[in-house]
């Protein structure tokens, strides 16, 4: 096991200070509650109701963040759809451009915020095991910096972060991906 970074320790102290991480939760974690390794290649079937707003999807997934709303993460889809998502993991820290290149090269597109929220709602154990990143939905601040979302529930409670899109993602992160359709693959070749 590697030593925690300064940033990881800073995040831990911030969560302790906010009351998110309690002594009891930390003790359970330190006593070795084993975190199972994710099973990659498994597909997760999602039913997405795009009549709901992103905020409503977040509430259904029990994910609360002031950063999640229609202004920051609008979706342009309509109606109800069923989609199969998968998780892709790299065995090393990966920067966003490299992750996107690998995702595209394998015939996938990055998952969206709506897809990630539905995964958290319909398959909550998946996001309890490891951080899930949705590179397919990007918001920009007033300075033009790009951000995307990722979810993790290490202690059973939802944590949704909005991070710099051009992040260096830890090797523990899994990227939500969707197999490209034939028309998307054809468009990529044109």
58 contacts 75 by C-beta, under 8 angstroms = no
What is the pLDDT, as a whole number, of residue 177?
Answer: 95
What is the pLDDT, as a whole number, of residue 24?
Answer: 59
Q: Give the closest residue to 134 by CA, choosing from 153, 152, 150, 154.
A: 150
What is the pLDDT, as a whole number, of residue 152?
Answer: 79
What is the pLDDT, as a whole number, of residue 36?
Answer: 39
Going by CATH, does the domain composed of 36-189 fall within 2.30.30?
A: no
Domain ranges of the chain: 1-34, 36-189
73 contacts 149 by C-beta, under 8 angstroms = yes
Q: Is the pTM of this model over 0.75?
A: no
Block means of pLDDT (10 residues each) for the chain, length 190 residues? 68 67 60 44 85 88 75 81 91 90 92 92 83 90 86 71 84 91 71
141: Cβ contacts below 8 Å, ≥ 6 apart: 147
Q: How many other C-beta atoms lie within 10 A of the C-beta of residue 16?
A: 14
């Amino acid at each position: 096991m590697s030593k925690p970074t300064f940033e990881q320790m800073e995040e831990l102290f911030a969560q302790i200070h906010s009351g998110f991480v309690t002594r009891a939760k930390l003790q359970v974690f330190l006593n070795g509650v084993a975190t199972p390794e994710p099973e990659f290649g498994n597909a997760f079937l999602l039913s997405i109701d795009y009549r709901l707003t992103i905020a409503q999807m977040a509430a259904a997934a029990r994910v609360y963040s002031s950063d999640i709303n229609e202004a920051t993460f609008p979706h342009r889809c309509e109606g109800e759809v069923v989609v199969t998502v998968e998780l892709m993991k790299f065995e090393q820290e990966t920067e966003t451009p490299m992750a996107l290149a690998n995702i595209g090269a394998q015939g996938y597109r990055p998952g969206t915020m709506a897809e990630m929220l539905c995964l958290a709602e319909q398959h909550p154990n998946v996001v309890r095991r490891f951080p899930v990143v949705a590179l397919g939905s990007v918001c920009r601040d007033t300075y033009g910096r790009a951000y995307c979302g990722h979810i993790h529930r290490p202690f059973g409670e939802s944590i949704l972060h909005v991070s710099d899109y051009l992040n260096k993602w830890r090797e523990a992160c899994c990227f939500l991906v969707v197999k490209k359709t034939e028309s998307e693959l054809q468009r990529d070749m044109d």
